[in-house]
């Protein structure tokens, strides 16, 4: 009707009507309201096959490397797979031996490479899926300007030596990179005895403990300098290995003011010998000596220290039971001509003169590496004169190393 107004209660929103219609429909269907709808089913997507990483072969040094140091160990490795074959050959077809680890992932050469040689490397690996991968290439080692041979003393056949014997390594070329060499030197002892290397010259380096070696020590020396550049393109020719034993503690002591040589074995006095040392014009140097070598018969020559036979004071004298103590010509030896002076005055050219009987006893009972200490005599024995290593204090000796001392 005109002017008529709808009451508020008679207006229904369309959305509400829709909801009511849905409720009505759900109430008049034929389905049991207690029944649940069956769950929807879906089909699984087909799985993708696993991706197999192909095997990757690598070498260290890498294939194609040149001027390789022979000391560098050759390694072959397989990533994402297992090595099935590794063959390394030189130009003559000789096979370089090697070892494959149990996992098959790594092969390591078990022999040093030669200088100036090209090696062919052929390797095969298989991945997890059974697919093989091969790699072939070469590496070439350096050709050195020259080689230097290290000589170790005591030698392998030296047998048992005395408690004063330092380890001495001598090179036949100058070593200008001392640190590179010293890093490759190793002394192992049983029982453990700490020691230090000290360079006496560009060709000689020696090793000693702070005190004399303990009696009964077993010493193993490894100079792993093959392939090492010792400076100026000169490389090590070999890596010697030497083992020796330390015998009983044998030390002889003579005071130049008393002229009696006292001999101790394991700190027990076993014999005394009257002696005569160097006269005032040729005094015996004060210091600690080590027996270097022994000769049943030997000829003393003044020419050994620069005085010709036909010069004033020149001589050639045969002696018995000569035990060398220094490179400069100091010996313990039989001197029958000076027996009346032995124990009384110094009349020698620097040697320790004793009777032939006493020299024979020393020769038979003391030997290489045993110690002779001379006190209150002439100028100090030089550290490089024979095995004079004990004529420096421990700090002085350590200062001769090319490497920084270990941090305490």
> Which residues are catalytic, by number?
333, 351
Question: Strands across the sheet with 118-126, in order?
Answer: 82-89, 118-126, 132-140
- Distance between CA atoms of residues 391 and 325, nearest Å: 13
Secondary structure class of 273 (helix, strand, coil) = strand
Q: What is the DSSP string of 202-250?
A: SSEEEEEESSPPPTT-EEEEEE--BT-EEETTEEE----EEEEEE---E
User: Rounded to 5 degrees, what angle do the CA atoms 289, 193, 186 make?
Assistant: 90
Around Cβ 333, how many Cβ atoms within 10 Å? 25
Q: CB of 164 within 8 A of CB of 390? A: yes
- Determine the Cα angle at 152 with ends 151 and 158, to 5°: 125
Q: CA 232: distance to chain centroid?
A: 22
Exposure string over 154-166, b if 16+ CB within 10 A, otherwise e: beeebeebbbbbb
Q: How far is CA 20 from CA 12, 24, 27, in A?
A: 11, 6, 11
């Amino acid at each position: 009707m005109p002017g008529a107004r709808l009451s508020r209660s008679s207006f229904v929103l369309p959305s509400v009507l829709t909801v009511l219609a849905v409720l009505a429909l759900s109430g008049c269907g034929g389905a049991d309201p207690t029944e649940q709808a069956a769950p929807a089913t879906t089909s699984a997507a087909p799985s993708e096959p696993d991706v197999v990483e192909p095997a990757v072969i690598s070498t260290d040094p890498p294939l194609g490397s040149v001027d390789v140091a022979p000391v560098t160990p050759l390694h072959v490795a397989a990533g994402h797979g297992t090595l099935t074959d590794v063959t390394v050959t030189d130009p003559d077809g000789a096979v370089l031996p090697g070892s494959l680890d149990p996992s098959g992932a790594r092969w390591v050469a078990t022999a040093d490479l030669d200088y100036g040689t090209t090696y062919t490397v052929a390797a095969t690996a298989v991945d997890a899926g059974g697919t093989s991968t091969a790699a072939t290439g070469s590496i070439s080692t350096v050709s050195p300007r020259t080689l230097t041979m290290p000589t170790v003393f005591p030698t392998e056949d030296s047998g048992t030596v005395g408690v004063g014997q330092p380890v001495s390594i001598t090179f036949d070329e100058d070593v200008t990179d001392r640190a590179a060499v010293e890093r490759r030197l190793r002394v192992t002892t049983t029982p453990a005895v700490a020691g230090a290397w000290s360079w006496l010259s560009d060709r000689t380096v020696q090793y000693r403990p702070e005190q004399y070696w303990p009696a009964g020590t077993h010493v193993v020396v490894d100079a792993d300098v093959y392939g090492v550049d010792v400076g100026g393109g000169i490389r090590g020719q070999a890596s010697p290995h030497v083992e020796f034993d330390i015998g009983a503690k044998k030390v002889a002591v003579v005071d130049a003011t008393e002229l009696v040589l006292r001999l101790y074995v394991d700190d027990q006095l076993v014999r005394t010998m009257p002696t005569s040392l160097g006269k005032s014009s040729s005094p015996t140097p004060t210091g600690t000596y080590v027996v270097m070598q022994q000769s049943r018969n030997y000829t003393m020559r003044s020419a050994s220290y620069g005085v010709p036979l036909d010069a004033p004071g020149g001589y050639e004298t045969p002696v018995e039971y000569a035990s060398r103590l220094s490179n400069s010509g100091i010996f313990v030896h039989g001197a029958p001509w000076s027996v009346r002076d032995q124990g009384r005055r110094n009349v020698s050219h620097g040697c320790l003169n004793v009777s032939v009987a006493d020299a024979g006893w020393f020769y038979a009972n003391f030997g290489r590496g045993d110690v002779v200490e001379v006190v209150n005599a002439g100028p100090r024995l030089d550290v490089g004169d024979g095995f004079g290593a004990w004529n420096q204090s421990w700090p002085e000796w350590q200062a001769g190393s090319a490497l920084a001392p270990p941090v305490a």
